[in-house]
Amino acid sequence: MPLSLADALLSTALPAAATGERLNRIHTELLAQSRNVRDANFRSIHPDDLGFLFQAYDRAFFDGGFGAALGASPLEFRLSRRMTKAGGSTLRLRNRLTGQTRYEITIATSLLFEGFGPADRGVTVCGLECPTRLHALQRIFEHELIHLGEQLCWDTSSCSGPRFQGIATRRFGHAAHTHALITRRERAAEAGIHVGSVVTFAYEGRQLSGRVNRITKRASVLVPDPEGRLFSDGGRYLTFYVPIGTLTAHASA
């Protein structure tokens, strides 16, 4: 009889060689079957690819335990270009009217696509080196899968907790619960742009100058203007959301 999901999550680890073989098989199968992920440094991805990973990991490591634990509860997969710090997220959502619980796994494509250029620094995810975008995707997905498993079995999940970290080590060989992906903020810093930097950019045929207030997918730049919103420093500013690559940092900033 297959183990319950909770028992499978808490069970003894597979030998490292067996774990590696299963992970490599999932890697190869996704490349062979996906319409989007055609090479290890893929340039496009679809939520269906996350659905494939879920089914593949559930079969290879849990004998279908995730599917059984979900039952009739929907599991949705999303890709986010707006997440700029976390590699992914897993949510447990309950409809107040019907009482139905659904789950949602989101992967931050902004972080995946930001790195893995030929001149980029190395990337680690879950304490493991990731030579390609697909390696990073798998490690992030494994991390989120453990969040889902904890939510299904114990309602709550914390990647800093000993149970989560024990599962991550035993099941997937993770050495940490944090990621060191390349972020937009890091990209901006390489160009000499930080929060507080004075920058210039083109807007509707004009050159505008302002100060960087925030860096996410784009930089939020505050440009002094008497018609702008009043800020806490007493100045009035218009806010522009500008692609980082179009900003020029002042040498004195």
Q: Give the model confidence (pLDDT) of 123-156 as tens digits.
A: 999 999 999 999 999 999 999 999 999 999 999 9
Q: Which of 158, 178, 157 lies closest to 86 in space, CA to CA?
A: 178
| Residue-level pLDDT at 92 | 94
Tell me the Ramachandran region of residue 116: left when phi exceeds 0, alpha when psi lies from -120 to 50, beta otherwise.
Answer: left
* Cα–Cα distance measured from residue 74 to residue 8, given in angstroms and rounded to the nearest whole number: 21
C-alpha count within 13 angstroms, C-beta hemisphere, residue 204: 1
For 128, the 3-state DSSP assignment is strand
Q: Cα 185 from chain centroid?
A: 15
Q: Domains plus CATH for the chain?
A: 5-182 (no CATH), 186-249 (2.30.30)
Angle at 186 between CA 183 and CA 188, to 5 degrees: 110
Q: Which of 160, 140, 138, 139 lies closest to 150 in space, CA to CA?
A: 160
| Residue-level pLDDT at 186 | 81
Query: Residue 29 corresponds to which tokens in the numbers above?
Result: 């199968």
Q: How far from each other are the two terminal CA atoms of the chain, in whole angstroms?
A: 66
Q: Give the model confidence (pLDDT) of 14-50 as tens digits.
A: 899 999 999 999 999 999 999 999 999 999 999 999 9
Q: Give the model confidence (pLDDT) of 82-126 as tens digits.
A: 887 788 999 999 888 888 899 999 999 988 988 888 888 899 999
For 76, the 3-state DSSP assignment is strand
Q: What is the pTM of this model?
A: 0.81
In the sheet that holds 88-94, the strands lie side by side as 75-80, 101-108, 88-94
| Residue-level pLDDT at 143 | 97
Per-residue pLDDT at 1 exceeds 50? no
CB-CB contact of 196 with 145 (8 Å):
no
